[in-house]
Structure 1
Amino acid sequence: MLYRRFGKTNLKLSVFSLGTMRYLGSQEIAQETISQAIAFGINHIETARGYGSSEEYLGSVIASGLLVCRSQMHITTKIPPTQDAETMRRYIKESLARLNLDYLDCLGIHGLNTWEHLDWVKSENGCMQAVREAVAEGKVRYVGFSTHGSLELILAAIETNLFDFVNLHYYYFFQRNALAIQRATEKDMGIFIISPADKGGKLYTPPEKLKEFCAPFTPLELNYRFLLTDSRITTLSIGAANPEELIEPLQVADNGGELNQAEIMAFERLEKQQNLALATDKCSQCYACLPCPENIHIPEVLRLRNLAVAYDMDDYCQYRYGMFENAGHWFPGMKGNRCTECGDCLPKCPENLDIPALLNDTHERLKGKAGRRLWE
């Protein structure tokens, strides 16, 4: 297992962290998963107030004495932004009690997703007042934020200088937040990549076409290598639901070196396939088409179309597309069939894409049952 400095916190974290959103099944499975993670060398566990019984399960493990050396095992929990300090004080107290901890190594503001959330964070009497008090009292060591927000919002949050680390979505198949990686690095913030297997493409159950273009590597392995070769990134989340799901990710846990020739060739095949399959319909993700009068997140809708057409990633794309209109600020935007063909986006597109037609095509390809956040 490799370990890297988590930005200005100076914590040395394992390059894989155990995320606990998915071990909601039982206390026994939680204990087995945590025990196995520690045996593999993981020294960072992340949970959240909103993850069902996750804090309680982890708290029971802590109370059992499994985490023998507390100073060498780092615990993060996440709490949503609140408009007032008193609510945040209560939330911090409750999380510490559930976790059976005297202090948190890291507290993340969970889901800093909207400009209103950022206003709450920046407010003199808002939630950060309680967070600052907790830091002063030794109940919290370091403070960061997780986000599903726009790149512009993420950059604005980084510029507040209120945070020691950031939890980001950033993967081979979603590189929109590259500027946030760079700016956070310049601010010496720790960078934690969340859900690289699931949100990164449901890469634990890849389609045959994707496996073909990634061979001799698995798609999951290539995505992990894409991230681990970036020394700016400290740690990647493994959302293991059981001990067995730790095995494949940790096979690359000691490989943070440069891409080898075979890996480079695999990435080149992926790029070539996307260009050939999409031809003149490829969306380059420039975001120039926004804002949309109907609040359609055009780039994200067309990113999903890119992946479905190029690699047959229909399962992942339907899963993500189904969250539009169903997940609030966690996945904002309307579905492609909301397009009125107003034409507002057409002159903005540098590729001259027929965006209304592509939105309709995406909807026909990916429409299905509505999706929701796993922990909701």
Structure 2
Amino acid sequence: MQYRRFGQTNLHLSVFSLGAMRYLADSKNAYQTIEKAFSLGINHIETARGYGKSEEYIGEAIKTGLSVPRSQFYLMTKISPTPDAETMGQQINESLQRLNTDYVDCLGIHGINTAEHLEWVKNKNGCMQAVQEAVKDGKVRHVGFSTHAPLDVLLAAINTDLFTFVNLHYYYFFQRNLPAIELAAQKDMGIFIISPADKGGRLYTPPDKLRELCQPLTPLEMNYRFLLSDSRITTLSVGPANPAELIEPLKVADSVGELTPAEINVFHRLEQEQNTVLGTDKCSQCFACLPCPENINIPEALRLRNLAVAYDMEDFSKYRYGMFENAGHWFPGMKANRCTECGDCLPRCPENLAIPDLLKDTHERLQGNAGRRLWG
């Protein structure tokens, strides 16, 4: 296991962090998963107030007694932004009680996803007042935020200079947030990548075509190497449902150097395949088509189409497409069948894509069961 400095926090975190969204079957499973993570070199546990009973299970493990003392591992929890300080203060205290600890190393404001959330944070009498009091009282050591926001909101949140770290989405198959990586690094913020195996493409169950294109790597290794070869990134979330699911991801926990020629060839092959298969229907994700009068997230819908058509990633694309209209500000936008063919987007597209036709095709390919976030 390799370790990296988490920006200006000066914590040295393992390059994989134990995300606590999924090992929630019971407290015994949580304890065993934490112990396995420690044995493999992970020193950072990341959870959230909204992750079911995760905080309670971690607290029970701490109370029972872990093989690593509390002072020798790092703990992050996340709490959603509130418009007032009192609510945030109560929730911080509740989380500490659930976690059976006097302090958390990192507190993330969970889901600064909209301009309104950002205004709550910037309001001097809002939730950050309680957060700053908790820092003064020693209950919180470092403050950051997590986000599923559009890039402009994400960059604005980083530019508040209120935070020492950021948890965000960024993967080989989703590079929209690269400017946020660059800005956070300039400000010496710790950078935590959310769910690269799942949100990065459900790469633990890849289609045969993607598996073949990534040889000699697996698709999961491909994405991990894409991220870990970037020294600006501190740590990647791994979210096992049980101890055994830690084994495969952590095989690359020491592979943090520059990309090798063989790995670079994999990325060239992936890019070439997408260009060849999609041809003039490829959406390059410039976002010039927005805003859409019907509030369709055109770039994201077409990104999912890109992946389904180019790499046979239909399962992942259907899974994410099903989140539209069902996950609120965590995954905003209407489904592609809401398109009225008004044509507003057409003159803005530098690639002259037939966007209404592509949206229709996207919906026909990807419509399925409605999705939702694991924790609402």
Q: Report the TM-score when normalising by structure 1.
A: 0.99
The one-character-per-residue Cα deviations of 1:7-35 (angstroms, maximum 9, x if unpaired) are: 00000000000000111211111111100
Matches within 5 A, 1:111-122: 111-122=111-122
Partner of 1:96: 96
Give the AA of the match of 1:361: D
Q: CA deviation at 1:71?
A: 2.2
Q: Say if 1:63 and 1:100, in contact at 8 Å, map to a contact too.
A: yes
CA distance in 2, matches of 1:186, 1:269: 31
Q: Say if 2:20 and 2:47, in contact at 8 Å, map to a contact too.
A: yes
Matched, 1:14 2:14: yes
Q: Please give the secondary structure, in 2, of the residue aligned with 1:119.
A: helix
Q: Say if 2:62 and 2:70, in contact at 8 Å, map to a contact too.
A: no
Q: Please give the secondary structure, in 2, of the residue aligned with 1:143.
A: strand
CA distance in 2, matches of 1:375, 1:247: 25
CA distance in 1, matches of 2:116, 2:170: 23
CA distance in 2, matches of 1:329, 1:250: 32
Equivalenced residue count is: 376
Give the AA of the match of 1:24: L
Q: CA deviation at 1:231?
A: 0.1
Q: Say if 2:323 and 2:371, in contact at 8 Å, map to a contact too.
A: yes
Matched, 1:369 2:359: no
Give the AA of the match of 1:370: A
Matches within 5 A, 1:150-161: 150-161=150-161
Partner of 2:47: 47
CA distance in 1, matches of 2:297, 2:142: 34
Give the AA of the match of 2:360: N
Give the AA of the match of 2:264: I
CA distance in 1, matches of 2:32, 2:276: 46
Matched, 1:359 2:359: yes
CA distance in 1, matches of 2:54, 2:81: 19
Partner of 1:195: 195
CA distance in 2, matches of 1:64, 1:171: 37
Matches within 5 A, 1:76-155: 76-155=76-155
Matched, 1:283 2:287: no
Partner of 1:349: 349
Matched, 1:234 2:234: yes
Q: CA deviation at 1:67?
A: 5.1
Q: Say if 1:109 and 1:144, in contact at 8 Å, map to a contact too.
A: yes
The one-character-per-residue Cα deviations of 1:307-341 (angstroms, maximum 9, x if unpaired) are: 00000000000000000000000000000000000
CA distance in 2, matches of 1:273, 1:309: 10
Q: Among the aligned pairs, what percent are the same residue?
A: 74
Q: Please give the secondary structure, in 2, of the residue aligned with 1:231.
A: coil
Q: Say if 2:38 and 2:68, in contact at 8 Å, map to a contact too.
A: no
CA distance in 1, matches of 2:138, 2:219: 42
Q: Please give the secondary structure, in 2, of the residue aligned with 1:142.
A: strand
CA distance in 1, matches of 2:71, 2:26: 27
Partner of 1:297: 297
CA distance in 1, matches of 2:164, 2:108: 10
Partner of 1:180: 180
Q: Say if 1:193 and 1:235, in contact at 8 Å, map to a contact too.
A: yes
Q: Report the TM-score when normalising by structure 2.
A: 0.99
Partner of 1:257: 257
Give the AA of the match of 1:155: L
Q: Say if 2:155 and 2:180, in contact at 8 Å, map to a contact too.
A: yes
Partner of 1:268: 268
CA distance in 2, matches of 1:249, 1:375: 24
CA distance in 1, matches of 2:335, 2:67: 45
The one-character-per-residue Cα deviations of 1:229-277 (angstroms, maximum 9, x if unpaired) are: 0000000000111111111111000110111111111111100000001
CA distance in 1, matches of 2:51, 2:225: 28
Partner of 1:334: 334
Give the AA of the match of 1:246: L
Matches within 5 A, 1:299-338: 299-338=299-338
CA distance in 2, matches of 1:68, 1:257: 28
CA RMSD of aligned residues (A): 0.6
Q: Say if 2:301 and 2:336, in contact at 8 Å, map to a contact too.
A: yes
CA distance in 2, matches of 1:28, 1:339: 49
CA distance in 1, matches of 2:104, 2:45: 11
Partner of 2:73: 73
CA distance in 1, matches of 2:249, 2:240: 10
Give the AA of the match of 2:297: H
Partner of 1:166: 166
Q: Please give the secondary structure, in 2, of the residue aligned with 1:107.
A: strand
Matched, 1:224 2:224: yes
Q: Say if 1:67 and 1:73, in contact at 8 Å, map to a contact too.
A: no
Q: CA deviation at 1:216?
A: 1.5
Give the AA of the match of 2:211: K
Q: Please give the secondary structure, in 1, of the residue aligned with 2:192.
A: strand
Give the AA of the match of 2:98: R
Gaps of 5+ in 1: none
CA distance in 2, matches of 1:68, 1:153: 38
